[in-house]
Amino acid sequence: MGDGQRVHWEQSGNPDGKPVIVLHGGPGAGSRPWYRRFFDKDRYRIIQLDQRGTGRSTPSAAEPEVDLRHNTTWHLVADLELLRRNLGIATWQLFGGSWGAALALAYAEAHPDSVSELVLRGVFTLRRHEMEWLYEGGAAVIYPDLWEEFIAPIPVLERTHMIEAYHRRLFDADPAVHVPAAIAWTRWSTAMSSLLPHPEVVASLTQPRPAVTFARLQNHYFLHNGWLEEGQLIARVDAIRHLPAAIVQGRYDVCAPPMTAWDLHRAWPEAELTIVPDASHLASEPGIARALRAATDRFAESS
């Protein structure tokens, strides 16, 4: 991709099927094989990639001397467009949740003629109040026990700016500093992502290397507001209102509260909004998974 970056991508399903690009969350979470379950393999050409610095893409954000200057929203948008052209795809469906929904909106607004439909889940748009809710104390009203663990590594005088305080530690060269910070950041970010606790999921994501990758990239993007103007992704939605879209949102999503999906839907009333009454944030929650599969099945019928 240039800039010393190599991006891993793969395809599955029907080579002659409807193209869809799956945009993972995080930033920094990496793609997963089980994301394919949301598509009929006989009707879809499923394309997945690990965004810069994560998964099997190199260099990893977990490397000791990581340089993230070439890892921004707009680098990722350019990567997607280059991949689309190299694969000879005229238009593709965008399927993304959480950060993946933000990236889908950024890409679609920059390249509307390259998009057939959008399927968005747990909408997150990097507005300042969304990030403050997550990392500056808002969500503590629901998860005070987890919040207490999150702030514990940070001295009291630094707790008014948690993203900046964690940034200093996550990018410290000493593993004795950045590894515990990454585990604490990742535990907070993932433990509240499901309606009911899934400690095995949290445990798998808080192993040192994946935690450092996830925490560094997420913190890097949030510190820079995603290289977006405040409210940009919703404000510029007129560029894509002609595109078919489905928005799937858990009613009790703490990571990406429903207000953001609602604000997007108000600006884009043509997009179908499904609020799942017994779900939080994860795509794997039963009600969300059913709604996502229903949307992709419906869009599979269109040319």
Active site includes 253? yes
Q: Residue 121 burial by CB count (10 A; 0-12/13-18/19+): exposed, middle or buried?
A: buried
Q: How far apart are the C-alpha atoms of 252 and 281, rounded to whole Å?
A: 8
Q: Which uninterrupted H or E stretch holds 9?
A: strand 9-13
Residue 287 and residue 101 in contact, taking contact as beta carbons nearer than 8 Å: no
Active site includes 303? no
Q: Which of 114, 167, 189, 253 is catalytic?
A: 253
Q: Which of 57, 60, 98, 194 is catalytic?
A: 98
Q: How far is CA 301 from CA 61, 117, 138, in A?
A: 39, 12, 42
Q: How far apart are the C-alpha atoms of 64 and 175, rounded to whole Å?
A: 8
Sheet holding 92-97, edge to edge: 9-13, 44-49, 18-23, 92-97, 115-121, 245-250, 272-276
Q: Which of 24, 111, 265, 281 is catalytic?
A: 281
Active site includes 281? yes
Q: Which uninterrupted H or E stretch holds 119?
A: strand 115-121
Cα angle 139-141-144, degrees, rounded to a multiple of 5? 90
For 225, the token pair is 């507001």
- Residues carrying an active site annotation: 98, 253, 281
